[in-house]
Amino acid sequence: MEPYQEIWDDAWRFFKYYAGKIPMTDDEWSELIPMTSKFVTRHPDHEAFARAIILIVEKELEERDREMRKENGTWE
C-alpha cells in the first residue's frame, strides 16, 4: 500500500504548489502541463492510478482558476 500513499502525497504537494499560484499565468499553465507527465513517470509501477489522480488534480486546478478569474473579472 505504500506506493499508493506516495502517489497521494505527491498529488497533494502538486495541488498545493499550483493552487497557491491561482490565478495562474499562461506561463504557469505551460509549466504545469509537462509536470503532469513527469508526475506519472515517477510512478511507473502504478501508472494508471497516478494518471487518474493527476488528471483529477489538474481538473480541480482548472476549475479553481476559472472561478478566481470570474470573481476578479479577468475571465476571457
Cell of 40: 506519472
Range of the domain at 25: 2-72
Q: Write out the DSSP string of the chain.
A: -HHHHHHHHHHHHHHHHHHTTPSPPHHHHHHHHHHHHHHHHT-GGGHHHHHHHHHHHHHHHHHHHHHHHHHHT---
- Over residues 26-49, the mean pLDDT reads 95
Q: Are 69 and 63 in contact (CB under 8 A)?
A: no
pTM attached to this predicted model: 0.88
pLDDT classification of 76: cutoffs 50, 70, 90: low
pLDDT classification of 2: cutoffs 50, 70, 90: very high
Question: How many separate domains does the chain show?
Answer: 1
Report d(CA 11, CA 36) in Å as an integer. Answer: 10
